[in-house]
Structure formats: structure tokens, C-alpha cells
Amino acid sequence: LTAPHEEEKSRPSLQAEAAARGLQVDVQDAVVRFGELAVLRELSLSIPSGQFLAVVGRSGCGKSTLLRLLAGLEAASAGTVSFGAAGGSPGLRTDVRVMFQDARLLPWKSVLDNVRIGVPGGDRAQALDALELVGLADRAKEWPAVLSGGQRQRVSLARALAGDPRLLLLDEPLGALDALTRIEMQQLIERLWRERRFTAVLVTHDVGEAVALADRVVLVENGSIAQDVAVALARPREKDTGFAHYESTIL
């Protein structure tokens, strides 16, 4: 366990590395409407490369709509969404990945073949590496149906990360899990974010989870960002949560 001050010293270099790896996102005055209902109303949000941003807000406030907008699954009727990257313009098909509350695995494909969907070209070795990352390489040949809910979410995470995305969008990915599994998954997501240095946007209605994982938390209210709070420096990372022994049993 490193002392807090040592951890602070190591932070700038991690951030510099992240800047070269993740995707920067800029939303300017975005409006998304469903018929009469304007869900996002001139929402603006800039996400620096490598940041872990959490989006919180009441059910129905437009969190998923915002995430879908970032994923290109929803169109803005006004405003813009743009992506910046140090290494030139991103290829959105491989650079942006989404993970949902339900794992959305194909039941007729093996665990490995589900992860191969996330790899450009379907490369087996790369998919196996991704399964290794989430601690499920030994379950590669099994059907999704025999896995637990938490394991299925780990396969879903492996599929999302298999193509080495630069922006990972997470829509309440842990919402259906029991409390202990949720903590294991939080630790796994944080570790992979630290290792892989992608930009992460986590939508959650759980403010505790937002603060536990993110550098920055924004609150969506009335269709725009009502609050914007930095949390990184207030909270030392990688501290012993007391659940480390559970992590060693899953990895």
C-alpha cells in the first residue's frame, strides 16, 4: 500500500500517458428530443482524454440518452458532439465501446466467440487476452447461460475492451448485480481503466459508486449539467477496501 503523498506524486505521469491514449469528447449545446419531449436541452460537456467521468441524476433525467448520444446511437437535433485525439481523428467503430446493464451476450455463441465480436477481425488470441484481463480465460469454451450474472458482465466488459477502445461508455453496468459482486466489478473496472488509459463515462444512479470510481461527477437535471464536481484529489485510489481477498478468488 503506497502512502497517499507518493500516490499524488505519481498522478501527473499517469495523466500524461492517458492524454496520449484516450479520446477527448466535446458536447456543445446538444439538444435531443423525442417528439414533444426535449430530454437534453442545450447540454454542454467537455471530457478530457483519460478522464473517468460519472454521470448521475434521477431516473428519466436523460443519462442513457446522453450516453447514446456519445455512442452515436442517438442524433442531436441541435448542437454538436465531437471527438479529439492526439493521434489523429478516431475511427469510431473501434474506438468507442458501450457496456449496458444487461450483458447482451449471444446465447448461441461460446464465451470466447462473444468476446471475438469485439475484436476487429475476430482474432482469437486477442479475444483470449481480453478474457484473461477479466479473469475468465478458463471459461472461454462455455456457453454464456452457465455463467453467473457477474461473470456475464465480466464477459461483456472483456468484449468491450477486446478491441482496445479509447472511449468506454458504461450505462449502469453494475445495476443488476449483488453488492459484493458490484464491489468486485468496481475494482476490476478501475484497475483496467488504470492499465488501459481509456476515457471512461459511467452512468449510474448510485452516487456512492460514482464517487468511488470517477475523477469527476456531473449531475444531469432538466436536460443539462446542473453540477460538476471534481473528486480525484479528495480520495486516494487503490486503497485497501478490505475486499482484496475476494478479488484474488475471481482473478
Could you list the residues that contact ligand ADP (CB under 6 A)?
Answer: 34, 39, 57, 59-65
Looking at the DSSP bridge assignments, the partners of residue 38 are 33
Distance between CA atoms of residues 68 and 42, nearest Å: 16
Task: Write down the least CB distance from residue 27 to Mg ion, Å.
Answer: 17
Residue 18 or residue 55: which is nearer to ligand ADP going by CB? 55
DSSP state of 20: H
Interface with Mg ion by CB under 5 A: which range of 18-26, 28-36, 57-65, 111-119? 57-65
Which run of H or E residues covers position 39?
strand 37-47
Q: What are phi and psi of 22, to 5 degrees?
A: -80, 175
Residue 5 or residue 34: which is nearer to ligand ADP going by CB? 34
Task: Write down the least CB distance from residue 245 to ligand ADP, Å.
Answer: 35
Residue 61 or residue 98: which is nearer to ligand ADP going by CB? 61
Residue 18 or residue 53: which is nearer to ligand ADP going by CB? 53
Which run of H or E residues covers position 179?
helix 179-196
Please provide the distance, in angstroms rounded to a whole number, between the alpha carbons at the two ends of the chain: 19
Task: Write down the least CB distance from residue 175 to ligand ADP, Å.
Answer: 11
Task: Write down the least CB distance from residue 37 to ligand ADP, Å.
Answer: 6
Q: Which does 51 bind (CB under 5 to 8 A by kind): ligand ADP, Mg ion, none?
A: none
What is the secondary structure of 31-75 as a DSSP string? EEEETTEEEEEEEEEEE-TT-EEEEE--TTSSHHHHHHHHHTSS-
Residue 96 or residue 115: which is nearer to Mg ion going by CB? 96
Nearest residue to Mg ion, scored by beta-carbon proximity: 64
- Category of 17 on φ-ψ map: left (φ > 0), alpha (ψ -120 to 50) or beta: alpha
Q: Does 64 bind Mg ion (CB under 5 A)?
A: yes
Q: Which does 57 bind (CB under 5 to 8 A by kind): Mg ion, ligand ADP, none?
A: ligand ADP
Contact 72, 96 (CB under 8 A): yes
Query: What residues line the site for Mg ion (CB under 5 A)?
Result: 63-64
